[in-house]
Every structure is written in C-alpha cells, then in structure tokens.
C-alpha cells in the first residue's frame, strides 16, 4: 500500500512544480515581451494576454496530469488492499475444518431380544415411497429393514 501513497505524493509534488513553472514561464515571457515592445501599446496588451494564457493552460494541464497520476496511485493502493483481503480469505478457506455431522442422524432402535421372544418371520405390508408397515404392530418404517424397529418381528422379504 505504500507504493500507492508514494505515487499520490508524487502527483501532488508534480502539480505544484508544474504550477510554479507555468506561472514563471508566463511572467518571464510577458516581461521580456514588454521590454521588447515598450513603445507600442497594442503588442504589450497582446503579450500580457499570451502570458495569462500560458499560465492558465499550464495550471489546467498540470491539474489534468495530476488527476491521472493521483488516480493511478489510488488504483495501485486499492489493488494492494484487494490482494491483501483476498489472501486473508484464501488462507481462511484453506484451513481444514472438521466435518460437521449430518443435521439429523437417525438412531434406530434395536429390538429388545431379552424381554421379547423371537417372533416368526412376517411379510411387511408395503406403505409406499420406500416404506413398509409391520403386520404385527403397525409401525411404519424403511423398507430395507430386516426386523421391525418397534416389536422386533423378523421381516420376510420376497
């Protein structure tokens, strides 16, 4: 970011230098012309006008050039800031984050084998959308189960 500030500082110094040079050029040219044409009134007025035009145009062009150089300094400064922010973001993105567990982890209940005796295998009743209903207890569950999650009845898949 220091480079952008240096360019902007140079633009300001250049502007002041060009204004001083323009004023000196206009005044010196006017003074020399007045000494040459000291006897005639018309050329003296013309020399004064030319000197004023040199001063005005010099200041105007110095301002235009300063604006472009200053703008370039701003561009360099902003580019450096963008690069710095981008590097921060990239370094934050590359840090390995621990994977988050799924939002809803389905916990399946295991059939209680100690309290209930083993039941005979039964055919589950299709309930649609990949789900079945246990013919013993009526519990609806996923069709890929081998036992009922509620009563523990073994499913016989055909």
Tell me the torsion sign for CA atoms 142, 147, 153, 158: positive
Q: Are residues 137 and 66 in the same domain?
A: no
Structural domain boundaries, residue 125:
110-158
Residue 104 belongs to some domain of the structure:
no
Q: How many CB atoms lie within 10 A of CB 58?
A: 19
Task: Identify whether residues 120 and 82 lie together within a single domain.
Answer: no
Whole-number percent of the chain with pLDDT over 90: 27
Q: What percent of the chain has pLDDT over 70?
A: 79
Q: Is residue 100 assigned to a domain?
A: no
Mark whether 84 and 149 lie in a shared domain: no
Q: Are 73 and 45 in a shared domain?
A: yes
The answer to whether the pTM exceeds 0.85 is no
Residues 31 and 74 grouped into a single domain: yes
72 and 10 assigned to the same domain = yes
pLDDT at position 38 over 90: no
pLDDT bucket at 1, cuts 50 / 70 / 90: low
Model confidence pLDDT, tens digit, residues 104-127: 555 555 555 555 555 578 888 888
């Amino acid at each position: 970011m220091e480079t952008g500030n240096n360019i902007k500082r140079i633009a300001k110094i250049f502007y002041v230098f060009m204004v001083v040079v323009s004023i000196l050029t206009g005044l010196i040219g006017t003074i020399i012309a007045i000494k040459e044409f000291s006897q005639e009134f018309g050329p003296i007025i013309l020399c004064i006008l030319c000197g004023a035009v040199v001063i005005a145009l010099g200041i105007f062009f110095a301002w235009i050039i300063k604006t472009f150089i200053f703008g370039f300094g701003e561009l360099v400064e902003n580019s450096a800031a963008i690069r710095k922010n981008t590097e921060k973001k990239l370094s934050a993105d590359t840090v390995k984050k621990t994977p988050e567990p799924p939002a809803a982890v389905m916990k399946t209940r295991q059939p209680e084998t100690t309290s209930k005796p083993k039941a005979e295998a039964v055919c589950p009743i299709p309930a649609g959308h990949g789900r079945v209903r246990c013919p013993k207890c009526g519990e609806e569950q996923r069709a890929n189960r081998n036992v009922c999650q509620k009563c523990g009845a073994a499913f016989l898949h055909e």
